[in-house]
Amino acid sequence: MSQQQKDMEYMRQAIALAAKAEQAGEVPVGALLVKDDQVIAQGFNLNICQHDASAHAEMNCIRAAGQELENYRLLDTTLYVTLEPCAMCAGAMVHARVGRLVYGASDPKTGAAGSVIDLLNFDAFNHQLDVTSGVLAEECAEQLSAFFRRRRQEKKALKLAEKQQGLTE
């Protein structure tokens, strides 16, 4: 299997993890960490469930990987994530010395792998990552936009129901 095929296969797994986040009522973002062609750890968004702004998919994945490897340095690993990481997650990747990042959809609002800022190839830092972007980007982006679309519709329906209830009371 070529590296490109492997990247797509792992990204499919990340998308499946993102779906788990969605089932838990979270924004669907999924991540996994691979070393020597083995999945070391997985993660998905848990901000709402855990009341924790830092519980992004990548952070949960990095924490689990550290426990698994009993080392906070995640040397020679590749992190796969469905959405471009934010500044917090990019910072954690630099601290953990993750070797490579592969992400799906770009995030023009908070992306810190080039969209808003590039913290992963910042010369003044002592570690840089190889970055591959846009792997299964459309699928990753569609998973997110479908989620937000559904949520908007649910909010709208709720508002309408409240309004109607108000009229009948």
Catalog residues that contact Zn ion under the rule CB under 5 A: 56, 86, 88-89
Between 46 and 86, whose beta carbon lies closer to Zn ion?
A: 86
Judge contact between 55 and 47, C-beta under 8 A: yes
State which residue, 11 or 29, has the beta carbon closest to Zn ion: 29
DSSP for residue 118: B
Instruction: Give yes or no for a contact between 81 and 30, defined as CB atoms under 8 angstroms apart.
Output: yes
Burial class (CB in 10 A: 0-12, 13-18, 19+), 11: buried
For 125, which DSSP code? S
Cβ 91 to Zn ion, closest distance in Å? 9
* Catalytic residue positions, numbered: 58
Q: Which amino acid is at 78?
A: T
**CB environment 27-38: b (16+ within 10 A), e (fewer):** bbbbbbbbbeee
* Residue among 15 and 57 whose Cβ is closer to Zn ion: 57
| Beta carbon nearer to Zn ion, 6 or 94 | 94
Question: Taking the complex as a whole, how short is the minimal distance between the CB of residue 58 and Zn ion, in angstroms?
Answer: 6
Shortest distance, position 71 Cβ to Zn ion, whole Å: 22
CA dist 80 → 17, 43, 125, 160, 162 (Å): 11, 10, 22, 40, 42
Least gap, CB of 163 to Zn ion (angstroms): 36
